[in-house]
Structure 1
């Protein structure tokens, strides 16, 4: 799975939203930052909802999660720290009787 394909699909879906004029991302020190140029002064919660819906669409059918944090805004430019990541799974039994223990997994 190539994460660049996920980002491309995510940005395309995000730009299709009515409240967003332009969306791009740039990595700085290995951290991906999402830059959104908005139309008509939307609220931060509206943009976060659009990000969440677009991320869900881009991740559909893949074992990915996303995380978004608001960083700053200036006029209609909003900056978020946004990342896609693969969830960690336990690979061995630690002996603490965890509910997600690898010993209790049924293999298909």
Structure 2
């Protein structure tokens, strides 16, 4: 699973939203930040809900979770620390007879 394609899909969805003027991902010290410029009548709560809505659509059908934290705002620009997280558990059998092998899980 390539997270770059998830990010591209997410950013493209954000740009199509009429309430969003500008959306961009910036990496700083290896941490992804989302810069969102919105219409002047949009509140921080509405902006956050919009970000979550489009992130859920971009993650649909994949085993990802969203980590979203509001960082700061300046007029109608909001900055979030945002990550798509991949599960930490094994999803396939590697053949090394591991004690936590996916074959031994009860579904």
Class of the TM-score when normalised by the shorter of the 2 chains: 0.7 to 0.9
Q: For residues 99 and 72 of structure 2, what CA distance do their matches in structure 1 show? A: 41
Deviation digits for residues 36-84 of structure 1 (CA, Å, limit 9, x no counterpart): 0111231111011111110111111111111110000001111000000
Q: Which runs of 4+ in 1 moved over 6 A?
A: none
Q: For residues 45 and 15 of structure 1, what CA distance do their matches in structure 2 show? A: 18
**Which ranges in structure 2 are unaligned for 5 or more consecutive residues?**
91-97
State the TM-score, normalizing by the size of structure 2.
0.82
Q: How many residues align?
A: 99
Listed as ranges, the matches of 1:50-69 within 5 Å are 50-69=50-69
**Which ranges in structure 1 are unaligned for 5 or more consecutive residues?**
94-101
Q: For residues 40 and 15 of structure 2, what CA distance do their matches in structure 1 show? A: 14
**Secondary structure at the counterpart of residue 78 of structure 2:** strand
- How well do the aligned residues superpose, as a CA RMSD in angstroms? 2.0
Aligned pair in 2 of structure 1 residues 92, 16: CA closer, same or farther (>3 Å)? farther
CA contact (8 A) 1:19 1:40 kept: no
Q: Are residues 1:10 and 2:25 paired?
A: no
Aligned pair in 2 of structure 1 residues 71, 92: CA closer, same or farther (>3 Å)? farther
